[in-house]
């Protein structure tokens, strides 16, 4: 009996640690607006009563760049200026719960919310229509936007796009973080060496070197209050209808450019092929040995394909 009591006591102590330590750490984090105040390269606008962060460059037809899950404006740094120089007004946005946009507790994160956020962002800036380019989860957001607001959509660029029904993500860390308490505890270990290894393993496949400055800026949003809530709420709901576009994708008639790497470790290449079959007016570009973050590892190719795609539809 004594051994059983010790075992139960140990288990209870572990549960208390798993529960209280993340809460304490979360409470010590600064708010997003506190960190945002020290950044000058991005702009901010009020959308749906929250502050939304974005970066704008160039003049011409509007292009809105939508990042993927747990990413930010940072993921588009190799593309913004190239598209602006080609004659477009480029807006890279931070979705709620990401980057330097607000990360409200209690909000129901979904593709519908993010599509609405993009629509209200466009309304706030007086943008009537735009080309939407989305990476990973951002591709699913762009697809949902086109389903809900076709008159505001010029065309779609889908890079390693999520949104189709498939098995849950096979990454071990993501699978473990789906479990309550465990996920909240694991996410505490997002230190620079860990993030560097994970980014190389699942986003870039080690094809490019990542600087310390990049990693510091990559991690910054996770150091703000509300990030953990948003991250885990979204992660734990992937694979459910609020995060899929299966109900409407076949009805999208807007021109679409699909870019997908053959060695994508997060969204399999088969998803890009199937997406091409479902979108009636789409072009598929499969990038040999390409990873998930194509716009970073193959920036020149991605920029060239996007610009050619846009110009062909002027």
pLDDT in tens, 96-111: 999 999 999 989 999 9
- 83-96 pLDDT tens trace: 999 999 999 999 99
d(CA 227, CA 222): 5
> 3-state DSSP call for residue 164?
coil
Q: Smallest Cα–Cα separation from 147: which of 109, 107, 118? A: 118
pLDDT the model gives residue 7: 57
The answer to whether residue 145 scores a pLDDT higher than 60 is: yes
Mean pLDDT in residue range 213-223: 92
The residue among 132 and 187 whose pLDDT is bigger is 132
Long-range CB contacts for residues 203-207, cutoff 8 Å, separation at least 24: 203/266, 203/291, 203/292, 203/293, 203/296, 204/291, 204/292, 204/293, 204/296, 204/297, 205/263, 205/265, 205/289, 205/291, 205/292, 205/297, 207/291, 207/297
Q: Is the pLDDT of residue 231 over 80?
A: yes
β-strand partners of 52? 45
Query: pLDDT value at position 265?
Result: 94
CA distances to 172, 197, 201, 292 from 176, in Å = 6, 17, 17, 21
> Mean pLDDT over residues 232-251, rounded?
92
pLDDT digits (tens, 9 = 90+) for 298-308: 999 999 999 99
Average pLDDT for 253-271: 96
pLDDT on residue 9: 66
Q: Does residue 16 register a pLDDT over 70? A: no
Give the Cα separation of 198 and 33 in Å (integer): 27
Task: For residues 46 and 48, give the distance between their C-alpha atoms in angstroms, rounded to a whole number.
Answer: 7
Instruction: Read off the pLDDT of each residue in 116-121 and give the average, rounded to a whole number.
Output: 98
Give the dihedral of Cα atoms 182, 187, 189, 191; nearest 10 deg: 170
Q: What average pLDDT does range 203-211 have in this prediction?
A: 92
Q: 65 has which bridge partners?
A: 92, 133
d(CA 281, CA 279): 6
Q: What is the pLDDT of residue 35?
A: 83
Query: Range with the lowest mean pLDDT among 9-13, 89-93, 133-137, 160-164?
Result: 9-13
> Which domains, ranges and CATH numbers included, belong to the chain?
40-311 (3.40.50.1820)
């Amino acid at each position: 009996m004594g051994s059983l009591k010790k075992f139960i006591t140990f288990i209870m102590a572990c549960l208390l640690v798993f529960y209280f330590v993340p809460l304490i750490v979360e409470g010590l984090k600064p708010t997003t607006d506190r960190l945002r105040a020290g950044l000058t390269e991005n702009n901010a606008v009020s959308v749906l009563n929250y502050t939304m962060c974005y970066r704008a460059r160039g003049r011409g037809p509007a292009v809105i760049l939508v990042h993927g899950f747990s990413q930010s404006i940072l993921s588009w740094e190799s593309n913004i200026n190239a598209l602006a120089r080609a004659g477009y007004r480029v807006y890279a946005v931070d979705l709620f719960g990401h980057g330097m946009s607000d990360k409200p507790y209690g909000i129901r994160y979904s593709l519908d919310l993010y599509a609405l956020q993009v629509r209200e962002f466009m309304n706030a800036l007086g943008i009537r229509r735009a080309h939407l380019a989305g990476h990973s989860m951002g591709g699913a957001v762009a697809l949902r936007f086109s389903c809900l607001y076709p008159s505001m959509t010029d065309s779609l660029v889908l890079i390693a796009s999520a949104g189709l029904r498939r098995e849950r993500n096979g990454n071990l860390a993501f699978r473990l973080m789906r479990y309550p308490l465990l996920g909240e505890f694991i996410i505490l270990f997002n230190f620079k060496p860990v993030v560097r290894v994970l980014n190389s393993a699942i986003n870039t496949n080690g094809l490019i070197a990542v600087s310390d400055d990049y990693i510091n800026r990559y991690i910054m949003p996770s150091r703000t209050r509300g990030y953990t809530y948003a991250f885990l709420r979204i992660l734990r709901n992937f694979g459910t209808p609020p995060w899929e576009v299966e109900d409407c994708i076949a009805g999208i008639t807007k021109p679409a450019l699909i870019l997908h790497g053959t060695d994508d470790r997060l969204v399999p290449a088969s998803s890009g092929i199937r997406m091409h079959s479902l979108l009636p007016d789409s072009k598929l570009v499969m990038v040999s040995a390409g990873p998930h973050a194509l716009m970073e590892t193959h920036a020149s190719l991605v920029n060239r394909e996007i610009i050619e795609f846009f110009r062909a539809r002027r």
